[in-house]
Structure 1
Amino acid sequence: MKNLKSAIALIALAVGSVFTSNAQDKMDKKAPKVVSLEQVEGEFTKKNLTLSQGTYVFEIANNNVGHDVGFVLVKKGQDISKPENHIKTAYVTKAVANGKKEKSNPTVLEKGEYVYFCPLNPTATDNTITVN
């Protein structure tokens, strides 16, 4: 009887760990990927990126610009001066102070091209992300 209880307990543990492992794998696949971008005075250090379709969090670093910086992402071809064209989830959750990093909310990128810039730095408006 003890052997039967032990066998049942081992089977329950094995089955539980399989379900836990599968659940963790599914969560890991859905976790957003982080895109790290750095700003120096007047520009981003990365001008062009190629990414796969998916969900991303943008981490923006302010490398001694001397004042706060931000991040704006727009589908290429849209008027960047119109806030309604900005992908709001890509905004950093707060302005990035000198020497600090801040992140955006998770942002879904579909196939296509996007431009990014900082209106506070200000940077060029032709930095691109190509999503395959």
Structure 2
Amino acid sequence: MKKVIALFVLVFTVSFAAQAQDKMMKDAPAKKITLEQTKGEFTQKQITVSEGTYVFEIDNNNVGHKVGFVLVQKGKDVSNPENHIKTAYVTAAVENNTTGHSNPTKLAKGEYVYFCPLNPTSTDNVLIVK
């Protein structure tokens, strides 16, 4: 009987540990993409990353007012908010000389453009996901 109980405890423990590990892998932290804005532009014009989940960190480097961040799949109308990838928006407008961030955003292979309508910046900045 002791062997049966010991076996049951062992199986239960291994099963629980495996489930916990699976959950940890699914909840792996997002990678970070840091972009700097100066007056009227992003300093990084093109970035290449691998597929995955990312948080965008936006540095407002002395723009003089709040800035934001918009990400759109390349080829879509950037002026249409329905095409914006909402999770990539900064969680709040980024004050002068501070840093803000987006929510985690899953990026699939393809090309995206990014811009700031508050700064404003050009819409030809490219993010390539391989």
TM-score > 0.5, shorter chain as reference = yes
Quote the offset at 1:117 in angstroms.
0.2
- The 3-state SS of whatever aligns with 1:84 is helix
> Structure 1: any 5+ residue segments left out of the alignment?
1-11
- In the alignment, is residue 117 of structure 1 matched against residue 103 of structure 2? no
Quote the offset at 1:25 in angstroms.
6.0
Specify the alignment match of 2:55 in structure 1.
57
Identity of aligned residues (%): 61
User: TM-score, normalization: structure 1?
Assistant: 0.80
Q: 2:84 aligns with which of 78, 83, 86?
A: 86
Q: CA RMSD in A?
A: 2.0
Distance 1:24 1:55 in 2: 16
Distance 1:69 1:57 in 2: 16
**Paired residues, what number?**
117
Q: Which aligned pairs between 1:1-132 and structure 2 lie closer than 5 A?
A: 19=17, 22=21, 26=25, 30-132=28-130
Gap change, CA 1:24 and 1:85, over 3 Å in 2: closer
- The 3-state SS of whatever aligns with 2:25 is helix
- The 3-state SS of whatever aligns with 1:61 is strand
Distance 1:25 1:88 in 2: 25
1:36-95 alpha-carbon deviations (Å, 9 max, x no partner) = 101001100111000111100000010000000000000000000000000000000000
> Structure 2: any 5+ residue segments left out of the alignment?
1-9
Distance 1:22 1:84 in 2: 37
User: TM-score, normalization: structure 2?
Assistant: 0.82
